Amino acid sequence: MFKLFKEGLAARKQVVEIVKNYLMQKMHYFALQAVTSCIQTH
């Protein structure tokens, strides 16, 4: 039972990492887009 719980926590940690990386990439992309559009308008 406890082993299963520990494995569940590890899996959740992994999912959190994946989501975090995904969001970071998205944010990076949007920031890049914003900067590019700013440069183009000025």
Asked whether residue 1 carries a pLDDT value surpassing 90, the answer given is no
pTM of the model: 0.58
Q: Quick one: pLDDT band at residue 4, thresholds 50, 70, 90?
A: confident
Tens digit of pLDDT for each residue in 8-20?
A: 899 999 999 999 9
The two structure tokens encoding residue 42: 């000025």
**What is the distance between the alpha carbons of residues 20 and 8, in angstroms, rounded to a whole number?**
18
- Tokens 């719980």 correspond to 5
DSSP sequence for 1-30: -HHHHHHHHHHHHHHHHHHHHHHHHHHHHH
User: Total structural domains in the chain?
Assistant: 1
Range(s) of the domain holding residue 3: 1-42
